[in-house]
Amino acid sequence: MKNSYINRRGFIKGATASLALSSLDLYGMNDYISQKTYKVALIGTGWYGKNDLFRLIQVAPVEVIALCDVDKNMLNAAAALVKQRQQSGKMPRLYTDYKKLLTENKPDIVLIGTPDHWHALQMIDAVKSGAHVYVQKPISVDVMEGEAMVAAARKYNRVVQVGTQRKSTPHLIDAKKNIVEAGLLGKISHVEMCCYFPMRANGNPPVETVPDYFDYEMWTGPAPLRPYDGLPHLRWWRTFMEYGNGIMGDMCVHMFDTVRWMLKLGWPKRISSTGGIYVQKEGKSTIADTQSAIFEYDQLNCVWQHRSWGTPNNPEYPWSFTLYGDKGTLWASTMKYDFIPLDAKNEKPIHKDVVYEKEKYPEDVTEDHIELNAAPATRLHMLDFLKAIEENGRPVADIEEGHISTASCILANMSMKTGRPLVYDPVKRQIVGDEEANNLLQRTYRQPWVHPHPDKI
């Protein structure tokens, strides 16, 4: 029996949902209808945690039963918004300890919107509790965390969708189908990916007293405990390697994951990277402001470049990927794509823009900090997630695919650190012939937190 997801509250009625997908039948989901109400919990109620939750509320009959955050002010503000947005009008239960949330509520679905250094432990504990999980990218901060996350999803037979929603972006699905798979590019033998956004926070705030509404010890969790110099959200935590993997882990993972999906690529054969803090040396930030990486495949190199200073090489595509074929070139980003044929006399260029849905979802327009260009993609990503749950299948951004993309970016950082190319064997879970690099596959956790291992899930 075919199913589709309809929000009983009326944000999307069946006809509207069909209209939202009518331009492109995303993975055959246009006719999906389900009357099941999922019990949902959110861990991490900051910017993107709420963003993901509100997109799910828009497309499915869910009941948000619990929220968790170590910032009580952020938690209470999120609860008020959820009460307003969800159909029942009920206030979710509030927690500062995610393990207590999982034990006392047994949600069907858990959304994880915490900083990167918490993803692994929370996702593994959530699937152990019986929940299906939507976890933000990058999935982990070291390679062995990712291996353990894949092992946990498989052992407990839970659906885990990663928030790499470019795979559910309408104009990029169109490019995959009508440009790449249609053969308009010919043989693709080179890929370039980049990010030139000035997104690297790099201040020098003073150390201060931790406010009583914020549990800094729990926020830090297994990561190194830095001197407290202000609330880490929104962007401050991302500027430290203690909590993530820099711009490589934040932005390259999106573009590289999309390229792998479009070209049906698995693990790279070899990864190399160089870079560092070349220009913006004045602040506390520990992430690279300049970095290049090469992800090698048979007769194909995928090359990444980021700079958080200067100007982009193409102002039209400052965060993007470019596929070079012997018949043409495809420029693509979250905002649009352009196909440029080699034979301009016989073939026309093709341009497509991002899809917006402001009229169908008027609440988008008044939502704080929403990425309007990403909202349709996230809604479709949630539908794909729910479809996989209903059918006990694998979503388009399955945890294993998220692990390959995340781990590849982590390995690029490891290559930059060691100063040499790395070859990762995913079967043996080790770097081939490089003991020093193997010691970097699993970082040291701060006590009493215990690092997960795929063989001990």
Strand, helix or coil at 161? strand
Alpha-carbon span 444 to 451, nearest angstrom: 8
346 belongs to a structural domain? yes
Query: Could you list the residue range(s) of the whole structural domain that residue 140 is in?
Result: 4-165+360-399
Q: Model confidence over 337-365: pLDDT tens digits?
A: 999 999 988 899 999 999 999 999 999 99
The DSSP annotation for 312-325 comes to -SSTT-SEEEEEEE
If you ran DSSP here, which 8-state letter would residue 451 be given? -
| Residue appearing with tokens 């420029």 | 331
Do 340 and 323 belong to one domain? yes
In a domain, 388, yes or no: yes
The model's pLDDT over 88-103, given as tens digits with 9 standing for 90+, comes to 999 999 999 999 999 9
Q: What mean pLDDT is predicted for residues 13-36? A: 47
Question: Each residue of 400-440: pLDDT tens digit?
Answer: 999 999 999 999 999 999 999 999 999 999 999 999 999 99
Judgement on whether residues 39 and 158 belong to the same structural domain of the protein: yes
Chain CA centroid to CA 163, Å: 4
Q: Each residue of 362-397: pLDDT tens digit?
A: 999 999 999 999 999 999 999 999 999 999 999 999
**Residue 213, in any domain of the structure:** no
**Which of 307, 260, 305, 335 shows the shortest CA–CA distance to 412?**
305
Are residues 70 and 152 located together in one domain of the fold?
yes
pLDDT per residue as tens digits for the range 210-239 = 999 999 999 999 999 999 999 999 899 999
310, pLDDT greater than 90:
yes
> In Å, how far from its chain's centre is CA 457?
23
Task: Determine what percent of the chain is predicted with pLDDT higher than 90.
Answer: 90
- The crossing angle, in degrees rounded to 10, of helices 143-155 and 119-128 is 10
Write the CA distances from 261 to 16, 257, 258, 382, integer angstroms. Answer: 28, 6, 5, 18
Contact (Cβ atoms closer than 8 angstroms) between residue 58 and residue 33: no
Same domain, 109 and 29: yes
d(Cα 225, Cα 334) in Å, to the nearest integer?
35
Residues 251 and 303 in one domain: yes
- Amino acid present at 177: K
Give the separation between CA 356 and CA 311, rounded to whole angstroms.
27
